[in-house]
């Protein structure tokens, strides 16, 4: 895989080769978006809840230093070991050090987008630690040697027939069988053995409560709990922005999270871990990895309020038709496109452009992040810093030149209409991607300017 990273547009092109799959992907995600609407509208004061969540998160970000200290002190008092990691490398090393000290070489991991962001699995693999992902969707992409394409629904891009094939190869299910019930049952048995035999587990954290030092993990499958309650060592990883002030704030966030994510009233399990169980070792790793930098960027600070529900991608017309892998970053979709450039503006310069700026993401965000406005702002920052794609830079310069001179503008308009009328093949050919799935409207005889001039004269006569 030593090749230049393809950008969003060309990765989306790859995804769009299979039109049926694009349609299916689009419909599936829109169906989840509709489920979200249906359940959200059943909650009186849904908008008040979003306001409350947004305000609590704003407050946390404005007072993060004291809250981190308070959380750390309480977690330590509860018997948890707290670690701090400045970046992904340090986070991964801390996990490895804990495992090495216990001579543990096998790990079971539940869903954590942070560990995806840090590429923990690759790092541990290179260092002789075997990792099994226990969330069914994550296990599927792991077996397929892919990355999750959605933060809540990791294998939303996969057809059940492909999963059936994978399970036949790796778990010995009958060839050609792709019944979800049967495949899930096979995974249940396979992962039960894993839970029972692994001495260490890594989990993510949904919410960390400063007031009490406890943390909350939400799953539907129960995989985080199965891992944590059977392992001798539990390592829980969180970005520093996951803090909330008080236990009662959970009432606001737990009402919003699952409704926004999948249209469920709540996840099956919302587990509150306060102390290690008797004889167990519990670690929390607090990770920065660019978050303090984002905190200092006034225009983009809001992105740290994200609770990782995925509603913005389910509703996004671009994400639904380009697939999660086109974002080439751990967090996909609109929210990923405003988080990624903070880490590496050059590498992810294409992502803020992967949007129509329609604002649907902003409308569904449970913590009211102004996602589409941040996408727009990132575009400006990226162009100012010279990271815009060359073709885009050139066309923008041409446009600026054309728009800044009335003469050039009118002449260009006339020429354009003439070309479309008399020589459409110069534009409508296979080299112009615009025409791949669409046509231009019929060319008008005159521009609005010309029409107005003519008709105004008529009226005045």
190-219 positions binding other proteins, by CB under 8 A = 191-192, 195-196
Distance CA 239, CA 224 (A): 18
* 309 scored as a contact of other proteins (CB under 8 A): no
* 118 scored as a contact of other proteins (CB under 8 A): no
Distance CA 407, CA 401 (A): 11
Nearer to other proteins, 18 or 393 (CB): 18
Nearer to other proteins, 235 or 388 (CB): 235
User: Minimum CB separation from other proteins for residue 244, in Å?
Assistant: 10
Strands 207-209 and 200-203: unpaired
* 159 scored as a contact of other proteins (CB under 8 A): yes
Give the one residue of 33, 115, 154, 367 binding other proteins; rule: CB under 8 A. 154
Nearer to other proteins, 184 or 426 (CB): 184
Part in contact with other proteins (CB under 8 A); list of ranges 228-236, 321-329, 361-369, 423-431: 228-236
Nearer to other proteins, 162 or 450 (CB): 162
* 273 scored as a contact of other proteins (CB under 8 A): yes
Query: DSSP string spanning 140-166?
Result: HHHHTT---SSSSSTTTT--HHHHHHH
Of 228, 253, 337, the closest CA to residue 8 belongs to 337
Give the one residue of 10, 31, 174, 405 binding other proteins; rule: CB under 8 A. 31
Return the residues of window 230-269 that contact other proteins according to CB under 8 A: 230, 240, 245, 247-248, 250-252, 254-255, 262, 264-269
User: Minimum CB separation from other proteins for residue 250, in Å?
Assistant: 6
Of 448, 395, 403, 441, the closest CA to residue 421 belongs to 441
* 417 scored as a contact of other proteins (CB under 8 A): no
Q: Which two tokens stand for residue 432?
A: 């112009």
Part in contact with other proteins (CB under 8 A); list of ranges 157-165, 322-330, 406-414, 451-459: 157-165
Nearer to other proteins, 289 or 355 (CB): 289
Q: Dihedral angle at the C-alpha atoms of 121, 122, 128, 133, nearest 10 degrees? A: 30
Q: Which residues of 45-61 are buried (b: 16+ CB within 10 A; e: fewer)?
A: ebeebbebbbebbeebb
Tell me the torsion sign for CA atoms 147, 152, 156, 162: positive
E-assigned strand segments in 32-117: 81-85, 106-109
Give the one residue of 12, 143, 226, 318 binding other proteins; rule: CB under 8 A. 226
User: Minimum CB separation from other proteins for residue 139, in Å?
Assistant: 9
User: Minimum CB separation from other proteins for residue 434, in Å?
Assistant: 33
Q: With CB under 8 A as the rule, give the number of residues binding other proteins.
A: 90
Residue 131 DSSP code: E
Distance CA 28, CA 26 (A): 6
* 318 scored as a contact of other proteins (CB under 8 A): no
User: Minimum CB separation from other proteins for residue 262, in Å?
Assistant: 8
Nearer to other proteins, 185 or 344 (CB): 185
Return the residues of window 52-91 that contact other proteins according to CB under 8 A: 52, 55-56, 58-59, 61-65, 68-69, 83-86, 90
Answer yes or no: are the C-beta atoms of 8 and 326 closer than 8 Å.
yes
* 277 scored as a contact of other proteins (CB under 8 A): yes
Distance CA 347, CA 439 (A): 33
Site string for other proteins, 165-184 (x = CB under 8 A): ---------------xx-xx
Strand partners, 235: 202, 283
Q: How many angstroms separate the Cα of 335 from the Cα of each of 47, 128, 201, 245, 305? A: 20, 33, 28, 23, 11
Strand partners, 177: none
Part in contact with other proteins (CB under 8 A); list of ranges 48-56, 120-128, 365-373, 388-396: 48-56
């Amino acid at each position: 895989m030593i090749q230049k990273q393809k950008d969003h547009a060309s990765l989306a092109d790859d995804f769009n080769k299979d039109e049926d799959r694009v349609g299916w992907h689009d419909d599936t995600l829109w169906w989840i978006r509709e489920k979200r609407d249906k359940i959200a509208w059943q909650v009186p004061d849904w908008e008040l809840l979003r306001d409350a969540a947004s305000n609590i998160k704003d407050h946390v970000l404005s007072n993060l230093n004291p809250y981190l200290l308070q959380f750390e002190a309480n977690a330590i008092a509860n018997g948890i070991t707290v670690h701090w990691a400045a970046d992904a490398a340090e986070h991964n090393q801390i996990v490895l050090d804990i495992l090495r000290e216990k001579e543990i070489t096998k790990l079971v991991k539940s869903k954590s987008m942070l560990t995806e962001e840090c590429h923990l699995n690759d790092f541990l693999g290179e260092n002789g630690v075997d990792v099994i992902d226990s969330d069914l969707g994550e296990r599927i992409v792991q077996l397929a040697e892919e990355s999750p394409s959605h933060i809540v629904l990791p294998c939303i891009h996969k057809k059940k027939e492909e999963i059936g094939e994978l399970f036949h190869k790796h778990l010995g299910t009958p060839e050609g069988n792709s019944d979800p019930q049967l495949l899930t049952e096979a995974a249940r048995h396979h992962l039960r053995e894993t839970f029972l035999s692994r001495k260490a587990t890594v989990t993510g954290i949904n919410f960390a409560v400063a007031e009490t030092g406890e943390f909350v993990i939400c799953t539907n499958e129960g995989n985080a709990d199965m891992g944590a309650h059977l392992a001798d060592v539990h390592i829980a990883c969180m970005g520093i922005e996951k803090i909330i002030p008080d236990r009662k704030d959970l009432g606001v966030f737990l009402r919003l999270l699952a409704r926004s994510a999948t249209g469920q009233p709540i996840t099956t399990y919302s587990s509150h871990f306060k102390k290690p169980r008797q004889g167990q070792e519990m670690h929390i790793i607090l990770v920065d990895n660019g978050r303090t930098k984002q905190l200092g960027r006034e225009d983009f600070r809001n992105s740290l309020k994200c609770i990782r529900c995925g509603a913005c991608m389910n509703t996004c017309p671009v994400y639904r038709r380009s697939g999660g892998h086109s974002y080439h970053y751990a967090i996909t979709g609109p929210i990923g496109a405003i988080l990624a450039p903070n880490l590496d503006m050059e590498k992810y310069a294409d992502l803020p452009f992967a949007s129509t700026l329609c604002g649907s993401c902003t409308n569904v965000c449970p913590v009211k992040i102004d996602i589409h406005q941040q996408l727009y702002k990132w575009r400006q920052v990226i162009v100012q810093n010279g990271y815009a794609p060359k073709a885009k830079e050139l066309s923008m310069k041409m446009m600026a030149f054309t728009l800044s001179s009335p003469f050039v503008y009118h002449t260009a308009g006339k020429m354009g209409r003439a070309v479309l009328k008399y020589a459409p093949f110069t534009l409508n050919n296979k080299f112009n991607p615009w025409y791949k799935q669409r046509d231009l409207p019929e060319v008008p005889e005159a521009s609005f300017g010309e029409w107005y001039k003519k008709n105004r004269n008529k009226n005045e006569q």
